[in-house]
């Protein structure tokens, strides 16, 4: 039985292997917490915001002001049709192994190094509080998987990605909300993505894990 995986489901595997196994075998689906619609709304308008700069052949100030020197050699990925396909959560960037297992992921955006045409993953994050020293580490697997997918589809990528954090700063008397932005450069490791994929497939092809979490402890099948 082939399986379809994504950064989200691999994250579930790391949190609770049994929930992951039950869900991918379509026996039980772990209840999802309340999703903040504000985050989805921010994601949507940020993509539109960046696309306007892409269509003008310019870089947005969030990138230029945060990493001015490095961003001089970068541009926004300008294949709008392909980017829309890779952004769509039901499609995204897809790779299939020899046993028809699928790994897919939907990106936010891409940058291109104008010197060598290598791609750089750019992911938007909205947070309510300032960053900690290790905040970026929570997104390491996601960035690794995106780069693994791009490389296995024939695209060269740099050995780093960018996380662009938007953090609420203040509300103006006019009612407008201002955000601080922080651009974090993260070194990527595609071998980690390959390891996680292989680990997930091996787990799914084995027996259901016995260790339970608070969500699946009462699930019997």
Per-residue pLDDT of 11-55, as tens digits, reads 999 999 999 999 999 999 988 766 666 678 888 999 999 999 999
**Structure-model confidence comparison of residues 117 and 32, the more confident one:** 117
Runs of H (alpha helix) within the chain: 7-15, 17-24, 37-55, 61-66, 68-71, 80-87, 140-152, 190-204
With 80 as the cut, is the pLDDT of residue 67 above it? no
State the Cα–Cα distance between residues 185 and 136, nearest whole angstrom: 9
Question: What is the percentage of the chain residues whose pLDDT exceeds 70?
Answer: 95
With 90 as the cut, is the pLDDT of residue 132 above it? no
Distances (CA, A) of 164 to 36, 123, 125: 19, 6, 6
Find the angle CA(69)-CA(71)-CA(76) to the nearest 5 degrees.
Answer: 170
Q: How much is the pTM?
A: 0.94
Arithmetic mean of pLDDT, 190-198: 98
pLDDT at 92: 96
Q: Name the one residue in this structure whose structure tokens are 């509080």.
A: 129
State the Cα–Cα distance between residues 187 and 206, nearest whole angstrom: 33
* CA quadruple 31, 39, 73, 82: dihedral, nearest 10: 60
Q: Do residues 124 and 184 lie in contact, with contact meaning Cβ atoms separated by under 8 Å?
A: no
Arithmetic mean of pLDDT, 50-64: 93
Arithmetic mean of pLDDT, 151-165: 97
With 90 as the cut, is the pLDDT of residue 211 above it? yes
Sheet of 109-113, strands arranged across: 74-76, 109-113, 119-126, 160-171, 177-187
**Structure-model confidence comparison of residues 200 and 127, the more confident one:** 200
With 60 as the cut, is the pLDDT of residue 100 above it? yes
Arithmetic mean of pLDDT, 125-132: 86
Arithmetic mean of pLDDT, 90-101: 96
Separation of CA 157 from chain center: 15
Arithmetic mean of pLDDT, 66-80: 83
Integer-rounded Cα Rg, in Å, for the chain is 19
């Amino acid at each position: 039985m082939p399986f379809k995986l994504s950064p989200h489901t691999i994250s579930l595997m790391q949190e609770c292997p049994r929930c992951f196994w039950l869900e991918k075998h379509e026996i039980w689906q772990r209840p999802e917490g309340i999703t903040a619609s504000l985050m989805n709304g921010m994601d949507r308008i940020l993509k539109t915001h960046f696309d306007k700069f892409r269509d003008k052949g310019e870089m947005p100030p969030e990138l230029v002001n945060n990493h001015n020197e490095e961003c001089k050699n970068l541009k926004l990925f300008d294949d709008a049709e392909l980017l829309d396909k890779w952004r769509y959560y039901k499609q995204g960037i897809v790779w299939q192994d020899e046993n028809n297992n699928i790994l897919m992921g939907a990106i936010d955006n891409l940058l291109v190094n104008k010197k060598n045409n290598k791609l750089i993953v750019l992911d938007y994050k909205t947070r309510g509080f300032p960053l900690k020293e290790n905040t970026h580490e929570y997104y390491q697997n996601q960035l690794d998987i995106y780069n693994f997918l791009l490389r296995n589809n024939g695209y060269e990528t740099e050995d780093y990605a960018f996380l662009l954090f938007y953090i609420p700063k203040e509300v103006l008397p006019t009612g407008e909300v201002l955000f601080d932005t922080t651009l974090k450069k993260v070194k990527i490791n595609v071998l980690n993505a390959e390891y996680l994929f292989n680990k997930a497939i091996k787990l799914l092809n084995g027996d259901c894990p016995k260790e339970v979490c608070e969500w699946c402890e009462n699930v019997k099948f």
